[in-house]
């Protein structure tokens, strides 16, 4: 393949050039968005891919992406970004970016992303489904990051308590592993669900999700007595990774909703649903509640009442639950707290 690399750092261009050539690709290069458009004008019939950095001298990579879409239609574009540039990812997805490479990345990462995008183009399907992947990019890494932040803060305040420090470090490592797991599994999200369904112990999964936020609960002064489960076993058939995202989002929302409240109690219960063959998990908080005028909107994509919110978390919660043939509902009133209920079909015995 013929690849156009756009980066304002010559060293980075040469590194990528050597790596791509070692894999059998031909490489063109440009030091700016303006130069890239000139190269495309000269070699448009030859260039198969564009790999551009987001930060460039002059117009940035996003501006270049828009110009490519206007003039060259569906020419595949992969964007290189720094960690944390989530808004860039969102804007790039909206403008038809085909793939991403988060710095630092390896030659294997680059080759894998090129292959993934190439396969997507061959199959004539979008390389990312924005409504599926975007919420994960924004939210799912943030959940373990909140846990890391809380553990680190508590560790700083107890520097001489070795036992406590060991626990905090273990939780930090666990959260980091969660991020790694997300990065590995994010590529599976576009695959049909039946390819990776498994029998999931719902109690163990919900308990694990709650314990991820132990330090955050302490930091925010929230009382939590553990998951209350009615007698019985609660196994569901589903994708454990996706179901984790449901409960992590709901639990973190519950914790955040109690900021500034005098009474801060998180409650989680698990039991049979209202009909046979169903399991029901309820996440309760004593937070600020949701006004009646917003109850019908909270699952809408991009709807949020939070100053720094994206309106993605509850939308993806609903999408995942419905994908698992379940349903999610909410009961709330201003200054009276909120109950989120998740109902899922139980797995067949055996």
pLDDT at 167: 79
Question: What's the mean pLDDT in 312-336?
Answer: 87
When pLDDT is averaged across residues 4-22 and rounded to a whole number, the result is 92
The answer to whether 246 and 238 are in contact (CB under 8 A) is no
Residues 6 or more apart in contact with residue 215 via CB below 8 angstroms: 147, 150, 151, 153, 154, 168, 171
Provide the CATH topology of domain 190-345: Heat Shock Protein 90 (3.30.565)
CB 303 within 8 A of CB 297: yes
Contact indicator for 107, 143 with CB cutoff of 8 Å: no
pLDDT for position 84: 55
Burial code of 157-172, b = ≥16 C-beta within 10 A, e = fewer?
A: eeeeeeeebebbeebb
pLDDT digits (tens, 9 = 90+) for 124-181: 444 445 444 554 455 566 667 777 777 777 778 777 777 878 877 877 877 777 777 6
Beta bridge partners of 331: 339
Q: What are the distances in angstroms from CA 291 to CA 2, 36, 134, 154, 226?
A: 55, 51, 27, 34, 28
- Which sequence spans correspond to the domains of the chain? 2-127, 190-345
Band (pLDDT 50/70/90 cuts) for residue 289 is: very high
Q: What tokens were used for 72?
A: 């060259």
- The predicted model gives 5-16 an average pLDDT of 94
- Looking at per-residue pLDDT, the higher value among 284 and 307 belongs to 284
pLDDT for position 192: 47
- Residue 308: per-residue pLDDT: 47
pTM metric for this prediction = 0.51
What is the pLDDT, as a whole number, of residue 86?
Answer: 64
Assigned CATH class of 2-127: alpha beta
Mind listing the pLDDT tens digit for each residue in 40-71? Answer: 998 877 888 999 999 998 999 999 999 999 88
pLDDT of residue 16: 93
Three-class DSSP category at 338: strand
Distance CA 233, CA 198 (A): 16
Q: Give the other-Cβ count within 10 Å of 194's Cβ.
A: 8
| Omega within 30 of 0 (cis) for the link into 274 | no
How do residues 182-228 score in pLDDT, each as one tens digit?
A: 666 555 544 444 445 789 999 999 999 998 888 888 889 999 988 99
85-138 pLDDT, tens digit per residue, is: 567 777 787 788 888 888 888 888 888 888 778 766 655 444 445 444 554 455
Do 2-127 and 190-345 fold alike per CATH?
Answer: no
Which residues does residue 329 pair with via DSSP β-bridges, in sequence order? 341
């Amino acid at each position: 393949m013929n690849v156009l690399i756009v980066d304002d750092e010559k060293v980075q261009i040469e590194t990528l050039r050597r790596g791509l050539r070692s894999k059998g690709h031909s490489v063109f290069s440009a030091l700016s968005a303006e130069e890239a458009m000139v190269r495309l004008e000269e070699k448009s019939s030859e260039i198969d891919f564009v790999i551009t950095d987001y930060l460039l001298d002059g117009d940035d990579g996003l501006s270049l992406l828009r110009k490519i879409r206007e003039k060259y239609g569906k020419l595949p574009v992969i964007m290189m970004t720094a960690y944390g540039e989530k808004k860039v990812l969102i804007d790039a997805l909206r403008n038809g970016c085909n793939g991403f490479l988060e710095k630092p990345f390896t030659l294997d990462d680059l080759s894998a992303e090129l292959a993934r995008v190439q396969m997507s183009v061959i199959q004539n399907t979008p390389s990312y489904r924005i409504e599926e992947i975007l919420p994960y990019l924004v939210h799912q890494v943030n959940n373990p990051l909140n846990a890391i932040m809380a553990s680190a803060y508590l560790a700083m305040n107890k520097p001489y308590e070795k036992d406590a420090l060991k626990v905090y470090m273990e939780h930090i490592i666990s959260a980091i592993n969660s991020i790694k797991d997300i990065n590995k599994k994010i590529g599976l999200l576009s695959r049909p669900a039946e390819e990776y369904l498994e029998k999931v112990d719902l109690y163990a999964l919900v308990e694990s999700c709650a314990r991820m936020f132990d330090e955050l609960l302490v930091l925010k002064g929230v009382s939590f007595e553990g998951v209350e489960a009615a007698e019985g076993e609660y196994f569901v058939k589903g994708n454990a990774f996706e179901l984790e995202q449901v409960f992590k989002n709901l639990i973190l929302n519950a914790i955040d909703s109690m900021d500034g409240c005098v009474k801060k109690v998180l409650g989680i219960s698990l039991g049979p649903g209202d009909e046979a063959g169903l399991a029901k998990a309820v996440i309760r908080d004593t937070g600020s509640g949701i006004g009646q005028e917003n109850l019908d909107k909270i699952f809408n994509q991009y709807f949020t009442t939070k100053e720094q919110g994206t309106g993605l978390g509850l939308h993806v919660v609903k999408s995942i639950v419905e994908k698992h043939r379940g349903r999610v509902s909410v009961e709330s009133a201003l200054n009276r707290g909120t109950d989120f209920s998740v109902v899922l079909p139980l797995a067949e015995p055996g």
